[in-house]
Amino acid sequence: MNTTFDHIILRTELVQSETFGDFYEEILDSNEGSSFCNPLIEDVSELLENILLKYESLTAFQKDVLYKIFSEFNHIRTTIDPKRLKSFTHDLNEDEELLLFRESENGLINIIINPEDCIAFSFIPNNEQKRTFYFIDQNGDFETLAYNFFSN
């Protein structure tokens, strides 16, 4: 399933206007408009919720790791630059590992979250760039993991 950040990036960009920021906030946050009328209501937490709802068999470990990863995605959106976020795909494989991955013009970037105790990052380049592979644990550096996920 593909997850897009386009709406989140656009929304963040629109409300940054000094002149029309409040106007956009009003339109996009209007309680009177139902969600299907409003293309921009999604935020990072809703994307997380979608993944949690889609894969009911996720373990407590996988959910905890997802919270941490999405917290860093949100940190990138609010503090660094929303344009850093890029669309990605997610899937649960036969070993019940949750995969977050994206294919860029430079190669394939993966985050693999094992059901029990391990998170792996890999970047498989399709050019002369260096291949990257590392593991982190539940208390590891999720900020760097998130940057790496969007860096190629």
At closest approach, how far in Å is the CB of 136 from other proteins? 17
Q: Report the residue number, 54 or 83, with the smaller CB distance to other proteins.
A: 83
At closest approach, how far in Å is the CB of 94 from other proteins? 28
Side-by-side strand order, sheet with 119-125? 2-3, 88-92, 98-104, 107-113, 119-125, 132-136
Query: Among 88, 70, 93, which Cα is nearest to 3's?
Result: 88
Q: Report the residue number, 49 or 64, with the smaller CB distance to other proteins.
A: 64
Residues in contact with other proteins by CB under 8 A are: 10, 13-14, 16-20, 23-24, 26-28, 30, 32, 38-39, 60, 64, 67, 71, 74-76, 78-81, 83-84, 147, 151
Q: Report the residue number, 21 or 54, with the smaller CB distance to other proteins.
A: 21
Length of the chain: 152
Going from the C-alpha of 64 to that of each of 1, 46, 73, 116, the distances in angstroms are 20, 16, 14, 11
